[in-house]
Structures are given as structure tokens and as C-alpha cells.
Amino acid sequence: MKRELIFTFCCLLTTLVWSQEYQRTETGIKASIFGKKIDVEVQWFNANSLRVLKMPHGQSVDKKSLSVIARPEKTVLKVSTSEDGNIVMKSRLLTVKLDTKTGVLIYETRNGMPLLKELENVKAFIPVNDAGRATYSVYQSFKTDKDEGLYGLGQLQNGQMMQRGIEKYLVQGNTEDVTPVFQSTKGYGVFWDNYAGTMYVDNEEETSFRSDVGDCIDYYFMYGGSADGVIAQIRLLTGSVPMMPLWSYGFMQSKERYKSQDEVVSVVKKYRELGIPLDCIIQDWQYWGSNYLWNAMEFLNYEYRDPKRMIDEIHGLNAHMMISIWSSFGPKTKPFKELEKEGLLMDMATWPESGVEGWPPNFDYPSGVKVYDPYHPKARDIYWNYLNKGIFQLGMDGWWMDSTEPDHFNPKDSDFDRQTYSGSFRSVRKAFPLVTVGGVSDHQRALTRDKRVIILTRSGFLGQQRVSGFSWLVSFLL
């Protein structure tokens, strides 16, 4: 009898512990999952969307998203504990259940239609050394229905729209733009908010993300009821697209490359003579001169001896002009020298590798070109100061931002150890295009509202739409 009483008391105590070991917050809940030695926080941003944070028990994480700029709205939320000790959260549209024994989250519509379920995670946090800093490789898996469609992940070269039955390492590249987002034909989407290299896996057992580096699991669940509804939630979280200039919806002409200002103007004149509508002409690289002057943000090539007159002539023909700018600088340029003095250049092999023209590169004459650190606000200031003085003030209308991945050849571990303003390059590499494009857009908007920002960029990441950046790929491989 005594043993039965003790057993009953222990069961009641266990149930009490499971049901009470969480706290209500302004945006949702925090809970400790003792059996898994993890802490879970659920932050509701609105009735449709919520953020999930998971971390080793007792560790605090103060992570600011580079993509998400929204603040949680005041959301009517009913929180209760079920008979089995699990936590149940209900908004106007969603029911989310947290299993207090396993840490698994289950997502349903308010009327009980299943949407998505996490799988029990036995390898969520694997200790890793990131440039001398102890952190983790983070992993989360989900159970998706075999007949639901999953779309997203960015612009890939795998020849398929639906991203089922694949394994893909997500990292920016010359011909691929990646963002760890998938959306389902069941009307929900998931954004894995991590900027390190990330392996996406979808097979019969799981749909999962594993990132090389992360202090915590951090993802957003968004319910919209349809693809358009999910995209609307993404805009609410990461920002809306500003109004583009009217001319940017028209025809843009470019080639590799125009070699003089006379050629640029003559092409626009020819379009006018032929009566073919043309809204913009794009000047590609080498208007600055040699590779040692790479991306000088000045017209140092003698064939562009009067760039102000060239731009004025194009405007006089009722057309606009866009120009190529890069994420790297040659060693003889003014931006290079100032960035180097401030310690804001990254030491990695990038394009161009040789200081002289021709292919293959002549490594007897290394270019010395280096990528800048756009994560640092001071570096973005320097970048814009030279771009503004050397080009924007001449009347330039838009930007063709090339190599925004950036180009990175023969990568070494030490390249990724480089400490940026936001952490090791390894931990933030996928967000490079977001911060470099954002730097140009934010500075131009701060300077003037008389000219709308328009940026073509070779790479992208979630949130880039809010800074007027839209992506192109250098090559479409068929």
C-alpha cells in the first residue's frame, strides 16, 4: 500500500512539473523540456505567424534577425494545459501544441486540420568550434505529408519547381540564389532564420534543415491558407517592396560590355531611330580602367572622359542609365585604401584573380582585389561615400550590383573564420547580399527622396525585397 501511494504521488508530481514548468510571456510562452535538456520559446507575431526558438537548457540567446524586421503584434492568445501535461496555444486561426516531454511542436488550423509536425529531435545541438568560439551545428526536422507540394529555397539550378525528394546544401553562388524557406500546398510556410551554410533534406522520413553554425534553433511558421497568403505573411515579417521607378518596368538593354561613352549613347540613339521602346541602358564593368582599379567607383577609363555629359545625353533621349558596381575593390582604388586602413577588407580569393586581362588568369600578376565587409555599418558608409561622389552625383539612375554572393574561389576554413561585424563569416555568409544591397539602398534613400531606388543584384536573401533589390542570375543552366 505504501509503495502504491508513493508511486501515485510521484506520478502526480511528475504531471504537476510538466504542466507548470512554463511561463507566459507578452508574446507567447517559454518552457523547459527537462527530458531533452532544452528550453523552448514561442513568440507569436500575429494570429498567422510565430517564431520558435530552441536552445540548450539554461543558455540565453540574444539574436537579432537580419531578415525579419517586424515586431510582434498584440495577439489574442488562449494558453492552456491538456490532461497529458502538454501546452496548447490557440490564436484566432491556429492551434499549436507543445509536447512538454519531447519538445515537439504540432501545428493545426483552429478547426483541427493538421498542417505540420516537428519530429523528435535527438541531434538538435552538436557542439562545434567556430573560429575559436564554442557554439553548435543546429538541426530541426519535420514530418510532412508525402502528397503535399513543397516549393521555395530560392533560385536553384536543379530543374524542378517542387523541392521534394532532394538534398541541397544552401549557400549563395554565382548561378544560384538561396533562401531557407519552403511553402506547402497546405497553406503554410517555414523560414529557417539562419545565415550559415545549411543542408536541406527532404525524403520519406523527414523534411529538415541543418546549419553549420548557430547558437539556437530559430524558425518562423507562417499560415496563409494559400501561396499568396504565405507570401503576404513573409512581407509582414521581412518588409514590403517599395514602389519602383516607373521606367524600371520597361525594357532594359545590356551587354558584356559597352566600351566607351560614345557607344553607350549611340545604342540609345539607334533604338530611338528604329522606334523600338527603350527605358534603360546598362553599363557593365571596366569603365574604371584596369583590374588594379577594380570597382573604383570613378570613370577612370579614358573612353569615358565626360561621364556627366554621357548621362545627360541619355536623359535627353528620354532614357535612363544603370551601372555595374561590385562588392570588391582593386588595390589602387581610394575605397580599397580607406577600407584597408579601417580593417574592413576580407582576405579571400575573388574575381578578378589576375591584374592583367585574358583567360586563364595570369597568376604571375595577382590582382590584389579584395571583398569588403558589408556587415559593418562603417564599411557601408565608406562604400556609399565613394559611390555617391563618383557616380550618383553625376545623375546615375540605378545600380547593377554584381558579385553580391560574393565571388569566392578556392575557399579555405580560414576564410570563414574572418570576424565580421555580425560574427564569423561562416555564421553570416548567406546574408551577404542582403546587407550589401541594403547599404546602397538605405544610403540613397537617406540622401534623397527625389529618385526612387532600383537595384539589380546577382544574389539575394529574404528581406532584400524591402531595399528595392531584385535578383538576376549570371547564367541559366538548362
Beta bridge partners of 423: 420
139 plus 262 within the same structural domain: no
> Which one, of 107, 119, 104, lies nearest residue 206 by Cα?
119
**CA–CA distances in Å: residue 196 to residues 133, 170, 200, 466:** 15, 9, 12, 22
Cell (9 digits) for 323: 551601372
Could you tell me if 181 and 462 are in contact, meaning their C-beta atoms sit under 8 angstroms apart?
yes
214 plus 255 within the same structural domain: no
Cell (9 digits) for 284: 557593365
Could you tell me if 237 and 245 are in contact, meaning their C-beta atoms sit under 8 angstroms apart?
no
**CB-CB neighbours of 83 under 10 Å:** 7
72 plus 179 within the same structural domain: yes
> Which one, of 301, 310, 329, lies nearest residue 402 by Cα?
329
366 plus 457 within the same structural domain: yes
| pLDDT reported for residue 311 | 99
Q: Can you tell me the distance from the alpha carbon of 220 to that of 48, in angstroms, rounded to the nearest whole number?
A: 10
106 plus 230 within the same structural domain: yes
Could you tell me if 61 and 53 are in contact, meaning their C-beta atoms sit under 8 angstroms apart?
yes
> Which one, of 223, 248, 253, 252, lies nearest residue 236 by Cα?
223
Spans in the chain with pLDDT lower than 50: 1-2, 5-20, 476-478
What CATH number does the domain containing 171 carry? Answer: 2.60.40.1760
> Which one, of 112, 113, 40, 26, lies nearest residue 76 by Cα?
26
> Which one, of 447, 297, 444, lies nearest residue 372 by Cα?
297
| pLDDT reported for residue 475 | 52
Q: Please return the burial class of 7, using the count of CB atoms within 10 Å of its CB with bins 0-12, 13-18 and 19+.
A: exposed
**Structural domain harbouring 119:** 23-238
336 plus 443 within the same structural domain: yes
| pLDDT reported for residue 8 | 44
Does this model's pTM top 0.85? yes
Tell me which residue has cell 512554463. Answer: 22
Radius of gyration of the chain (CA): 26
Could you tell me if 430 and 154 are in contact, meaning their C-beta atoms sit under 8 angstroms apart?
no
Max Cα distance, the chain (Å)? 103
Q: Can you tell me the distance from the alpha carbon of 341 to that of 460, in angstroms, rounded to the nearest whole number?
A: 29
DSSP 160-213: -SB--S-EEEE--BTTBEEEEEEEETTSEEEEE---S-EEEEESSS-EEEEEEE
390 plus 430 within the same structural domain: yes
349 plus 458 within the same structural domain: yes
Domain assignment present for 167: yes
With left for phi above 0 and alpha for psi between -120 and 50, is residue 18 left, alpha or beta? alpha
Q: Can you tell me the distance from the alpha carbon of 299 to that of 310, in angstroms, rounded to the nearest whole number?
A: 11
233 plus 253 within the same structural domain: no
151 plus 54 within the same structural domain: yes
